[in-house]
Structure 1
Amino acid sequence: MTEPRICSDDYGILTSARDWLAAGREPALVTVLKTWGSSPRPPGSLLVMCRDAGHAGSVSGGCVEADLLERYRSGELGELPTRVDYGVNREEATRFGLPCGGRLELLVEALTDAAQLDELLAAMDAHRLLAREVDPASGRVRLRPAGPEPTFACGESGVTRVFGPAWRMLLIGAGHLSQYVSRLALMLDFDVIVCDPREEYARDWQVPGTRLVTLMPDDAVAAYTGHPRSIVLALTHDPKLDDLALLDALVSDAFYVGAIGSRRNCELRRRRLRDMGLPESQLQRLYAPVGLPIGSHTPPEIAVSILAEITALRNAAAPSAGARSITAA
């Protein structure tokens, strides 16, 4: 089977950088190092820009980009790499559209190594994680394999940005709820794969941008997830399908594993998984009932609660998996 093409901001930015470097357009990479106050883009956000004002990505709401492009075009930024501050005072913050006295510290570096860009893109195509480590003083860049680590880190030793597979979501079941979950997930830049071996469900699946597979759920988990940027959601209400997926997903490196159901049914599911030999330490990783408790009842509301919980965890703004699953039991 052919893997779906990666569709993410990082992939598009790197592709533009590679193409512009090949065309001799002198691309430079801009990375948000630190922010203070209210800033439109978080640390780790990327922008690639050219001498001719071509650009992709963003580091703010727009005004900072315009100034950066002009300063790069005119040579005002000087020798690269260099650090650039915006919003160092209230007047400048207002000028550049940084609310509440916000401030940005940026790293601007010349991109000259086409082989490194190709290696990063190849890793994303192969669903591998690579860390790009930069020494801001010398401009030296090193690529290394990455694991389940923060996507971005900025410290005394340098700047590290992890590139790799787009966040992937595997949905078990092609039912009504999965349609809403997949649409929201696509808007959040997930690579969405829907697994349902039941012909009566699979034949009617129609959500553009997703991929439908008819493997058994455990085979789909093995084939499409397991890396630290993968999500597995069991949404069929059928233990014969959901439990197969959960048993394998909970012992994998998947970032998030969740299952739909009432509290009573979720407790029965936990008992079944224990009886099948799943260790308690792995069982504690299960989010069930899946989603934040927002009083949701309709499929669209439940989908919102699910994506809200996953988003909160990705942004480190929610309790740990263990604390959440114990509460839900």
Structure 2
Amino acid sequence: MKSLDWEVLSRAVEWLDSGYKAHLFTVMHTWGSAPRLPGALLVVREDGHLIGSVSGGCIEDDLADKARHQELPLSATVLEYGVSNDEAHRFGIPCGGRLQIFVEPLNDSAHLSLLLQSIEQRKLIKRSVSLGTGQVKINQVLPEGPPRIDGDWFHSYFGPQWRLLIIGANQLGSVLASMAQVLDFDVLICDPRADIRAEWHVEGVEWIYEMPDDAVVEINPDAYTAIVAVTHDPKLDDMALLEALKSNAFYVGALGSIKNQVKRRERMRMFDLTESEIATLHGPVGLSIGSRTPAEIAIAILAELIQVRAQQLKANAINPIYEYCAA
């Protein structure tokens, strides 16, 4: 399942290829209780059709109305909303909230198509737009931070979509896969047990028909990848963990009680894993919220995963497509 911002970019390409004109909007900065984070993306077609979001809805309505009346800027510029209390109230921005949005008119889909292709290849891309000429530059980079204006250039960053590899197609795996997709994760599932696979009914996931250790190697986990083992069968879970703990995955977790996790770590020490690698294992997996049912456990897992991801973003300036996405 593709991320919501991927859908925005793809729809922009479709509209442009169909002969429409459109504007792309990116949240640059927020102050106070702004409803969206920097990088939130919106595309508005010339007839007011739109996809994406930069606020709770009122700003989108204003931009759509401006598009229908041909009142949007003809060149790249910056718009501000919520500067005054009256304006904040008018656009439904919480008290003290303020948004700074980069707006760019689009007439050609070629650079967006190139951008989508680069994201498919799981590259981190910087897209730079000249405020003076509208020129666009696309380069692969290391993490550099949130969208910003530097001189005459607006820089924004596109990274690979977050993805989650689930080892185990049991009931917990099914619920976890469904919830993770709602949170914009690209979900992959691996389970070598044919009888378990036969009962799988969750749409939108990608199956990997390998043994768990081979599945981890096949996807080549990067800093945007989480791996969770939930089969509750050490023979299967441990196979995945032996590879996952050596990878660049930002989160590796395994189902099991504290007692079972102690035994698991003892087993891990019998192989070529360092103590620091073993220490990165999240087990028992998920936040301790008293969860017992599959749905509650899935919520606990995703809550911890989101927490760890946020810590990684802050520490390493990782830029996922849906958080730091640009026009």
Q: TM-score range by the shorter chain?
A: 0.7 to 0.9
Whether 1:197 aligns to 2:178 is no
Q: In 2, Cα distance between the equivalents of 1:251 and 1:130?
A: 26
Select between 152-161 and 194-203 the one with higher mean Cα deviation: 152-161
1:212 is matched with which residue? 207
Secondary structure at the counterpart of residue 241 of structure 1: helix
Partner of 2:180: 185
Q: If the length of structure 2 is used for normalisation, what is the TM-score?
A: 0.87
CA-to-aligned-CA distance 1:156-215 (integer Å, 9 cap, x gap)? 465443334432111111122112211211211222121111222222222222233331
Q: 1:129 aligned to 2:124? A: yes
After superposition, what is the alpha-carbon deviation per residue over 1:26-54, rounded to whole angstroms, capped at 9, x for unaligned? Answer: 22110001111112211100011122212
TM-score (norm 1): 0.87
Contact 1:80 1:110 in 2 (8 A): yes
Q: Give RMSD over aligned pairs.
A: 2.4
Q: Is the 8 A contact 1:197 1:213 kept in 2?
A: no
Q: Aligned to 1:7, what secondary structure does the other structure show?
A: coil
Give the number of aligned pairs: 314
2:269 is paired with a residue of what secondary structure?
Answer: helix
Alignment partner of 2:266 out of 271, 275, 278: 271
Map 1:39-50 → 2, pairs under 5 A? 39-50=34-45
Alignment of 1:1-329 (within 5 A): 6-136=1-131, 139-147=134-142, 149=143, 152-154=146-148, 156=150, 159-316=154-311
Distance 1:255 1:289 in 2: 17
Q: Secondary structure at the match of 1:68?
A: helix
The answer (yes or no) to whether the contact 1:172–1:194 under 8 Å persists in 2 is yes
CA pair 128-50 structure 1, distance change in 2 beyond 3 A: same
- Give 1:315 shift: 3.1
2:323 corresponds to which residue?
Answer: none
Structure number with the bigger relative contact order (C-alpha 8 A, sep ≥ 6) is 2
The one-letter amino acid paired with 2:166 is L
Structure 1 position 220, deviation (Å): 0.9
Q: For 1:194 and 1:200, locate their aligned partners in 2 and report how far apart those are by CA, in whole Å.
A: 15
How far the C-alpha of 1:96 sits from its partner, in A, is 0.4
Tell me if the contact between 1:168 and 1:191 (Cα under 8 Å) persists in the aligned partners: yes
Deviates more, 1:163-172 or 1:69-78: 69-78
* C-alpha contact 1:45 1:59 (8 A) present in aligned 2: yes
Give the secondary structure class of the aligned counterpart of 2:95.
helix
